[in-house]
Each structure stands twice: as C-alpha cells, then as structure tokens.
Amino acid sequence: MPIIPVNYYIFLSLALFAIGIVGVLTRRNAIIIFMCIELMLNAVNILLVAFSKMHHVAAFALDKTTTVGTEAQLFVFFIMVVAAAEVTVGLAIIVMLYRNIHSVDINFLNRLKH
Amino acid sequence: MSKFIFLIPLLPFVGFLINGLGRNFLSKTLIGIIGSGVLVASFVLSLLAFSQVSEPGFTVQVINLFDFIKVAGLNIPFAFQIDQLSSLFLLIITGIGSLIHIYSIAYMHEETPAHFARYFAYLNLFVFSMLLLVMGANFIVMFIGWEGVGLCSYLLIGYWFGNNSYNNAAKKAFIMNRIGDLGFLLAIFWMLSQFGSITYAEVFAKASTAPVTVLTGITILLFIGAMGKSAQIPLYTWLPDAMAGPTPVSALIHAATMVTAGIYMIARSNVLYTLAPTAQHLVAIVGIATALLAATIALKQNDIKKILAYSTVSQLGLMFMALGVGAYTGGVFHVMTHAFFKALLFLGAGSVIHAMHHEQDIMKMGGLRKKLPITHITFLIGCLAIAGLPPFSGFFSKDEILAAAHDMHPIYYALGVITSLMTAFYMFRLYFLTFSGTFRGTEAQAEHLHESPFSMTFPLIILALFSIAGGWVGIPAVFAENAHKLSAFLLPVLPERHQHHHFSHSMELMMMGAVVLLIVVMILIAAKKFASVKSSEEKQLSGLGKFLANKWYVDEFYDLLVVKPVSQLAAFLSKVVDQKIIDGLVNGVGRGVQFSARQLRWLQSGQTGSYVLIMTVSIILFFIFQLLWKA
Amino acid sequence: MHITEILFWILTALALFSALMVVSSDNPVHSVLWLILVFMAITGHYILMNAQFLAIVNMIVYAGAIMVLFLFVIMFMNLNKDSEPQKSVWLRLAAVVSGGSLLLILVAALKDNGGYINSMKGEGSIGLIKNLGNTLFTEYVVPFEISSILFLSAMVGAVVLGKKESSTPAA
C-alpha cells in the first residue's frame, strides 16, 4: 500500500502559495499578478483535496460505505466556480484599465495617493 | 369623562399648529377665529369636566395617555389628573383665556397677518402648556408645562423683537425663570430618589415616611421654582419688565394664569408643605415681604402697566402668605378672584393704551371718564375689587387670607392689612389720575380718543361681572353658615385650615369693618390728592419717594451683584481662557496632527505593490507572534 | 519506491518548477503557458488522490477556459513582448525575502501535523462523479443554483466593464 504523509501535500501547497506571493510582489504586469493569484487559489485547492482524502481514509478504515470528505471536494468545486467568475470580471477590469491608461503596469495606478 | 379630557389641551395645540404653520396663508379674520375658537371649545369641555367633577361621589380621575419615560424601575406616564383643584384652574385658564383671545383680535388689529398669526400661535401654545401644567398627574408633566409657559412668556414678552430693550426684558424673564426652574428640577430629582416615583398620588401617600429634613429640602426647592415663576423675592424683578409684551399678554400670562403656577404647585403639594413647617414659614415670610415691597414700589410708579405689574407681584405675595399660613383654599380662592379683577384691570389698561395710541404714562392721561365710559366703569369695578371692598370679589378672598394670617401670627395680619391699604391707595391713585380731572395729553391724542370696539369691551364687561360676583362662592362663616362653597368643593384636595384660635363672630366682624373703613379712608385720600391734577409735570421727587420710584434700586443692586461680575467673568473666559488656553490647545492638536501626518506620508505611496508587501509582512509578524505565544 | 510515489515526486517537481517559471519569465505568453503546466501537474495530483471529477473540472475550467481567456486578453492587448519594466532590485529582494519567510513560518507552524496518512489508491469513491453529483444535486442544490446567479452577474459585470463608453468620455 503506497503511503504518502499529508505533510508533503501541505508543503507542496505552501510552496506554491509562497511562489504566488512572491510573484504578486515582484511583478508589475497586472495580468501576471492576476495569474499568480490563480496560482495561490490552486495551492489552497490542493490542500483541501488532500485533507479530504486524509479524513476519508481514516473513516474508511471503520466503515466501508462512508462518504466523509465529500464536502471538501464540493468546496473545491465551488472555489473553481467563484474563481471563474472572478477571472471574468478581473480581466474585464484589466481590459478597461488598458483602454484608459494604455498600460497594465500597476505602478501607474498610484491614484490612491491623491 | 376620560374620553374627551385629552382634547382640552390638544385643541389649543392644534390652534398653535394651524396658526404657526399657516401664518403666511391665513387671513387675519381666520386666524382670529381659529385662535379664539379652539379656546372657546376647550372652555366648553372644561365646563363639562367641571360639572362632572362637582357631582357628588366624584373621585379623582387619572388618565394615562402613554408611557413617557420607561426605564428599569422608573415609570413616568404621560398622565392627566382631573380633580377639584385642576378642574377649577382649567376653568380659570380657558375662561379668561378665551376672553383675552377675543380681546386680542381687536387689540392687535394693526399687526400684519404673519405677525398676527405668530401672536395667536404663541398665545395658543401658552394655553396648551398652562393646561399641561395644571392637568399633569405627576411632577414631570407639570414641569413640561412649566417650561412651556416659560418659553411662551419669553416669546410673547419679546413679541415686538424690533425693540432691543423688549428683547432684554424677555431674556431677563427667561433667565430668572430658569433659576427657579433649576430648583424645581432638583426637587423633582430629590423626590424621585426619595419616593421612587413622582406621581402625585404616590408621592403624597409616601410623604409621611420621609424624614422632615428631606421634606423641608424638597419643599424649599419647590418654592424656589415657585419664586421664579410667580415673581417672589428675590426673583421678582422680571415681572415688571415683562410688561414690554402686548397688554393682553400681560393680562393672561403675567396676571391671571402663568404667575399663579407657583401657587398651584404649592397648593398641589400641600401634603408635603404641611409636613414641613419650616418651609411653610419661609413661604409665608417671603410672601408677605414681597407683598409689602412691591406695594411700596407701586405707590410711586407712573407707567400704568408697571403699577399693575407691581400690584400683581404684591397680590402674589399675599397668596404665598396664605399658602404659608396653611390657608391653601384661601390662596387658591385669591388666585381665582385675582385672575378676574387683574385680567379686567389689565384689559382695561389695554383699552386705555389703545385709545391713547400706546401712551402708558398716567401723568399724561386724565379725564378719560367721558370718552371711555365702558372702560371707565369696568376699571372702577376692578379697582374696587382689588382694594377689597364688599361685596366685590377681592373682599372675600383677601378677608380669608387676613383671617388665616391673624390666626397664625398678628404680625402677618398687620403687614397684610398694611399691604391691602397701600393696594387701595395706589390703585385709586392710578384710577383718579387716569379717569378724572382734565386731559393732560397732546392735542392729537385728545382728538383720537375713542371707546374701544365691542370685541374689546365685551371681555371687560364679562370680567367685571365676575369681579363683582366671583367672590360669592366663598362667603365666610361670619355672614352665613356653610356658605363657603369653594372650600367645600376643594375639601378633597386641599385640607381645611387648622384653626388655632377661635374668634367670636362679633370680633371678626369688627376687624373686618375696621379694615374696610381704613380702605375707604385710603381711597378718599387718593381722591383728594389725585382727582384733579392739572399738569403732567412731575414734582421733583426726593428722599423716600425717589427711593420708591426707583424700585428700591433692586435692579441696580442685582446689576452690581450679579450681572457685572458675570460679565467680567465672561470677558475673562473669552479673552484669556478661550483665546489663549482653549484655542492654543486646539491649534496645538491641529499642528501636531499635521506634523505627524507629514512624517507618515511616505508610507502612503499609492503603489498597490507596496500595500501588498506591507500586508504580507504583517501576516508574517502575526504568525511569528502566534508561534511565540504558543511556545 | 512505489510507482505512485515516483509519480508524486515528479508531479511536485514539475509544479514547483513551472510555478517558478510563471513568476520569472519576462514574456507574459510564456507565463501563461507555464501556468497551464502548473495546472496540469495539479490535475495529476488530483488523479493520484482519486479525485477524478475535480481533475477533469480543473483541466477543463482552469487549464482550458480560464487560461485561454488570459491568453486571449494578452493577445488582444498585444502585450507579448519582453519589454516589461522591472521593479527595483531592492523591492524585488524584499518581496522574495518576505515570501520566503512566509513559507518558512507556515512550514514551522504546520510541520507537526504528521500523524495522518494519506492513501494514494482508490479506496472509497468520494472523488467520483457519481458520489459528488449525488451530493451536489441533493444537499447542495441551492448553492449550486445560486452560483448560476453569480455567473450571470459576473457576465453582466464583464459586459458593462468591457463595453466602450459611448455617452461619457473616457476618464
């Protein structure tokens, strides 16, 4: 029986998340920043599925018909739904931004200062 | 009965709303009809209430309208109480109020519609507040009315706000009233903490459980409230100045109704006062002192309204003395008769002033008897009534007060008699200077002289009838047994005076006769001195006369003692405390904020990236903190 | 070493490497392509965990629809050049340091979680379409329908935002 500690998945997820954060912090292109945010969302998704599996395995040892862990996977499904909607609106905003300032460089978005 | 009771105060309030809001649209006729109509309607309702109260077997009715204040352990309902005392005051207020409203229609006819409506709106609001004051079933509702009448008094004294001295008079009245109101308010709080309630019934039921010192404190505070509202020493100086208002206002507010609110309040809380003899003595002493002081000042005044004002202060003093010696019925009786003849005198004075084109100096009048016949007759009746000659109403009420005073202490009696004599003298000085002799005014005024229109003389006639007959409800036992109907009527609310000594009827009759004789002598002296004054030139006053004409210099004394120091304190506060300390503080805070804002500004780069960086660093710090916390 | 473990390490290495390339490549189009690779690796992980439905959805929705949308926008705005201006070196260093310390702190916080074991193989069937669909259309039917409203509003929002403003002048 192949066994992988859940910690590995946690570390994988955290690594992806940290890479996403570094991307958000270092890049100036709004689209790339947006992609990094998607990356962070996916890191969380992995974590959810891994925990779902973990609990399922624990419950399965006692009861062969258990459905423990279903909710977590549905949750991931809803996250994807929301992410899709978010991407639609976000990209629309970026398109409008480009139309207005002819750039997607967030350094030009310093109106908050004024 | 409870079904229509709430309409009695509500109708004037509706009148106030209509006149106040519609002052730019309504015609003067309509304003007058609305303003007086609501009062007549509520007078009719008051009559109904009164007739039901006077039926045998009537018990006190308390009508709860709604909960006014309801917090833990404290419930103050907005409730009306209808009993003998409040129904009597209802009649006086709405009855005399109606007459004065009708009178005002003619008296104020020179005003523009908007100001005319403003006048009637204030007047209606005043009646509303006054009705709240007497109808309330607890001290809070009374206090609401109490403040309301103070406000209306202020508004009406300053009715002609174009004249700055009138405004000052209004402010003076308001501020002096506020001093008294503070006493009243403190008394309410004290009662609340002592008895846990301020409803009349509960307070009076629990009164005997409280220590005498507490009751004395409460009653003295209540009396301070009464001092302000009813113009007693030391807070009386506002009332003569209040004559700046239109004359019908002086008649209604500053003679017949509002200034008697203090009497009503003390009569209402007679249970407390009976348990606190010290406070009662204080009431009597202040009352008689005020009566004497005001009477002496009235001797030397020349302004027709000022004389009446000081006379009012003096009569109020007598009423307080009556309350102080325990003759609550006598005090209320005098309130009633005084309301009749003083309203009559003020309205008569108003009629004279109207005819004289707003001339108020009696030295410039004279010989008005022929030109103003109705005013003359009614005014004479008023003077006879206030002087206290039988069978006019003033005789009976004053006699009752003097009898009670004698019962308490002869000194009170002697001072009361002296006050009465002075009253007779200055009232007839006023009467003779105004109506007999030759006219001393200008030619233009002489040509203009005319009797007032019917809507002004009608109230005079009605009030004159009541000034004659109003006292017959309280005929003393000397003349007929059980003829004191008022005392019997008020017995459930006001206890009968506890008699210390009992005179034989012959002795009492003799004293009465002696007083009446002295009063007649006074009138004759006044007639001899003033009936045929020729010139309007004043004699140069000296000594005591000057002292009295200047009102004992009380105003100047107050100016020196209170007004000047307060002004100086205010100047100090404004120049030093406000400009230096407060402004410095405020500006310092502003500068500090600006300085720190400049230091912090570099954080706000406007770059989203830097905000995200700060956020990340903060999250890291939070995690570190949490880890350390666990460890 | 079992075959699934080998697959796990390969997929993990692929995901991390691709993610680093997403962040570091200059050309946005390359970034998108690397991101698709990350998503594919994550899909592989889902399959390893027997979450077949999520694997398919992830492939179709993320790697398919969403990334195509990104590509489309980039093409549309003609951004596929390497000329993106860079942030200052110090700022980038601060970003990397803070990202790294976040990773460090999170690992430190979660590393004691080792008691539980995650099986790679197909015991249970919660990740299958049958089970998920059953739950989704019974217990979670209301949120599911609500999500359709979310989509509708997102669509309307995108149209409104993306529309050329004819009446008011552009800011």
Burial environment of residue B363 by CB neighbours within 10 A (0 to 12, 13 to 18, 19 or more): middle
Q: How far apart are CA A12 and CA A14, in angstroms?
A: 6
Query: Considering only CB atoms, which chain C residues are within 8 Å of A114?
Result: none
Between B136 and B357, whose confidence is greater?
B136
C91 touches B at CB < 8 Å: yes
Report residue B616's pLDDT band, with 50, 70 and 90 as the boundaries: confident
Report residue C14's pLDDT band, with 50, 70 and 90 as the boundaries: very high
The two beta strands, B74-82 and B61-71, are antiparallel
Of the candidates C23, C54, C131, the beta carbon closest to that of A76 is on C54
Q: Is residue B73 part of a domain?
A: no
Q: Which chains touch C (3 or more CB pairs under 8 A)?
A: A, B
Dihedral sign computed on CA atoms, order B439, B444, B449, B455:
negative
Report residue C170's pLDDT band, with 50, 70 and 90 as the boundaries: very low
State the amino acid at position C86 in one-letter form: Q
Q: Could you tell me which residues come within 8 angstroms of residue B427 by beta carbon, excluding any fewer than 6 positions away? A: B307, B311, B383, B386, B387
* Interfacial B residues in 587-616 facing A (CB < 8 Å): 604-609, 612-613, 616
Of the candidates B609, B620, B627, the beta carbon closest to that of C101 is on B620
Between B480 and B367, whose confidence is greater?
B367
What local confidence, expressed as pLDDT, does residue B541 receive?
A: 64
Tell me: do B473 and B491 sit in the same domain: yes
Q: How far apart are CA B367 and CA C170, in angstroms?
A: 90
What share of chain B has pLDDT > 70, as a percent? Answer: 95
Query: Considering only CB atoms, which chain B residues are within 8 Å of A21?
Result: 616
Of the candidates C87, C91, C106, the beta carbon closest to that of B623 is on C106
Do B292 and B323 touch, CB atoms closer than 8 A?
Answer: no
Note if the bond before B391 is cis, omega within 30 degrees.
Answer: yes
Q: Is residue B113 part of a domain?
A: no
Tell me: do B339 and B291 sit in the same domain: yes
Burial environment of residue B338 by CB neighbours within 10 A (0 to 12, 13 to 18, 19 or more): buried
Q: How far apart are CA C103 and CA B281, in angstroms?
A: 88
- Highest mean pLDDT: which of B395-404, B433-442, B443-452, C139-148? C139-148
Tell me: do B327 and B409 sit in the same domain: yes
Q: How far apart are CA B154 and CA B150, in angstroms?
A: 6
Residue spans of alpha helices (H) in A1-114: 6-26, 30-60, 70-101
Q: Which chains touch B (3 or more CB pairs under 8 A)?
A: A, C
Do B333 and B476 touch, CB atoms closer than 8 A?
Answer: no
Q: Is residue B257 part of a domain?
A: yes
Taking alpha carbons only, the member of B158, B434, B164 closest to residue B302 is B434
Q: How far apart are CA A21 and CA C20, in angstroms?
A: 11
Tell me: do B611 and B488 sit in the same domain: no
Of the candidates B613, B619, B627, the beta carbon closest to that of C94 is on B613
Low-confidence ranges of chain A (pLDDT < 70): 1-2, 110-114
Instruction: Determine whether the interchain pair C105/B623 forms a contact, defined as Cβ–Cβ distance below 8 Å.
Output: yes
Arithmetic mean of pLDDT, C103-131: 71
Instruction: State the smallest CA–CA distance between residue A109 and chain C in angstroms.
Output: 13
pLDDT at residue C117 is higher than 70:
no
Do B331 and B443 touch, CB atoms closer than 8 A?
Answer: no
Instruction: Determine whether the interchain pair B606/A28 forms a contact, defined as Cβ–Cβ distance below 8 Å.
Output: no
Tell me: do B358 and B415 sit in the same domain: yes
Report residue C81's pLDDT band, with 50, 70 and 90 as the boundaries: low
Instruction: Determine whether the interchain pair A28/C84 forms a contact, defined as Cβ–Cβ distance below 8 Å.
Output: yes
Q: Is residue B125 part of a domain?
A: no
Q: How far apart are CA A47 and CA B55, in angstroms?
A: 90
Tell me: do B275 and B422 sit in the same domain: yes
Burial environment of residue C144 by CB neighbours within 10 A (0 to 12, 13 to 18, 19 or more): middle
Q: How far apart are CA B601 and CA A24, in angstroms?
A: 24
Q: What are the backbone angles phi and psi of residue B77, rounded to the nearest 5°?
A: -80, 155
Instruction: Determine whether the interchain pair A99/C66 forms a contact, defined as Cβ–Cβ distance below 8 Å.
Output: no
C96 touches B at CB < 8 Å: no
The single residue listed with the structure tokens 């506890």 is: B498
Query: Considering only CB atoms, which chain B residues are within 8 Å of A114?
Result: 606
Q: Is residue B110 part of a domain?
A: no
Taking alpha carbons only, the member of B193, B239, B252 closest to residue B218 is B193
Query: Considering only CB atoms, which chain A residues are within 8 Å of C66?
Result: 38, 83-84, 87
Q: What total number of domains does chain B contain?
A: 2
What local confidence, expressed as pLDDT, does residue B198 receive?
A: 85
Q: Could you tell me which residues come within 8 angstroms of residue B579 by beta carbon, excluding any fewer than 6 positions away? A: none
Of the candidates C77, C85, C103, the beta carbon closest to that of A15 is on C103
The single residue listed with the structure tokens 């120049």 is: B575
Instruction: State the smallest CA–CA distance between residue A71 and chain B in angstroms.
Output: 28
The tokens of C32 are what?
A: 């998108």
Residue spans of alpha helices (H) in C49-120: 52-57, 67-77, 89-110
The domain boundary, picked from B519, B549, B579, lies at B549
Tell me: do B278 and B356 sit in the same domain: yes
Find the closest chain B residue to A110 by CA distance. B606
Of the candidates A106, A111, A114, the beta carbon closest to that of B609 is on A106
Dump pLDDT digits (tens) for B126-171: 999 999 999 988 899 999 999 999 999 999 998 888 888 888 889 8
Give the range of the structural domain holding residue B312, as residue numbers without chain letter: 138-532+539-549
* Interfacial A residues in 35-94 facing C (CB < 8 Å): 35-36, 38-39, 42, 45-46, 49-50, 52-54, 56-58, 60, 66-71, 73-74, 76-78, 80-89, 91-94
* Interfacial C residues in 12-31 facing A (CB < 8 Å): 12, 15-16, 19-20, 22-23, 28, 31
Q: How far apart are CA B249 and CA B343, in angstroms?
A: 10
The single residue listed with the structure tokens 């992980």 is: C45
Mean pLDDT for chain B?
Answer: 85
pLDDT at residue B533 is higher than 80:
no
Tell me: do B479 and B619 sit in the same domain: no
The domain boundary, picked from B549, B582, B597, lies at B549
Do B140 and B192 touch, CB atoms closer than 8 A?
Answer: no
Q: Is residue B275 part of a domain?
A: yes
Taking one residue from A and the other from B, the number of pairs with CB-CB distance under 8 angstroms is 27
Of the candidates C95, C110, C124, the beta carbon closest to that of A56 is on C124
DSSP three-state, residue B68: strand
Tell me: do B370 and B389 sit in the same domain: yes
Dihedral sign computed on CA atoms, order A7, A12, A15, A17:
negative
What local confidence, expressed as pLDDT, does residue C76 receive?
A: 82
A109 touches C at CB < 8 Å: no
Q: What are the backbone angles phi and psi of residue B70, rounded to the nearest 5°?
A: -140, 100
What local confidence, expressed as pLDDT, does residue C19 receive?
A: 93
State the amino acid at position B355 in one-letter form: A
Query: Considering only CB atoms, which chain C residues are within 8 Å of B619?
Result: 102
HSE-CB of B503 using CA atoms within 13 angstroms:
16
DSSP three-state, residue B212: helix
Q: How far apart are CA B258 and CA B265, in angstroms?
A: 11
pLDDT at residue B505 is higher than 80:
no
Instruction: Determine whether the interchain pair B607/A106 forms a contact, defined as Cβ–Cβ distance below 8 Å.
Output: yes
Query: Considering only CB atoms, which chain C residues are within 8 Å of A84?
Result: 61, 65-66, 151, 154
Q: Is residue B153 part of a domain?
A: yes
Find the closest chain B residue to A23 by CA distance. B609
What share of chain B has pLDDT > 90, as a percent? Answer: 19
Tell me: do B617 and B484 sit in the same domain: no
3-state secondary structure B588-601: HHHHHHHHHHHHHH
Q: Is residue B61 part of a domain?
A: no
What local confidence, expressed as pLDDT, does residue C171 receive?
A: 43
Instruction: State the smallest CA–CA distance between residue B592 and chain A in angstroms.
Output: 21
**Which of A40, A42, A66 would you mutate first to test chain C, the one with the most C CBs within 10 A?**
A42
The tokens of C18 are what?
A: 């691709």
Arithmetic mean of pLDDT, B179-204: 89
Instruction: Determine whether the interchain pair B609/A107 forms a contact, defined as Cβ–Cβ distance below 8 Å.
Output: yes
Report residue B1's pLDDT band, with 50, 70 and 90 as the boundaries: low
Tell me: do B425 and B573 sit in the same domain: no
**Which of C84, C102, C103, C107 would you mutate first to test chain B, the one with the most B CBs within 10 A?**
C102
Tell me: do B156 and B179 sit in the same domain: yes
Instruction: Determine whether the interchain pair A113/B605 forms a contact, defined as Cβ–Cβ distance below 8 Å.
Output: yes
Instruction: Determine whether the interchain pair A107/B613 forms a contact, defined as Cβ–Cβ distance below 8 Å.
Output: no
**Which of A39, A68, A71 would you mutate first to test chain C, the one with the most C CBs within 10 A?**
A39
Of the candidates C87, C94, C102, the beta carbon closest to that of B619 is on C102
Q: Could you tell me which residues come within 8 angstroms of residue B97 by beta carbon, excluding any fewer than 6 positions away? A: B39, B43, B127, B130, B252, B257
The domain boundary, picked from B503, B520, B549, lies at B549
The domains of chain A, with CATH numbers, are 6-113 (1.10.287.3510)
Taking one residue from A and the other from C, the number of pairs with CB-CB distance under 8 angstroms is 256
Of the candidates B604, B612, B613, the beta carbon closest to that of A113 is on B604
Q: How far apart are CA B5 and CA A85, in angstroms?
A: 67
Query: Considering only CB atoms, which chain A residues are within 8 Å of C102?
Result: 18, 21
Of the candidates A25, A28, A111, the beta carbon closest to that of B606 is on A111
Taking alpha carbons only, the member of B352, B419, B351, B355 closest to residue B387 is B419
Find the closest chain B residue to C95 by CA distance. B613
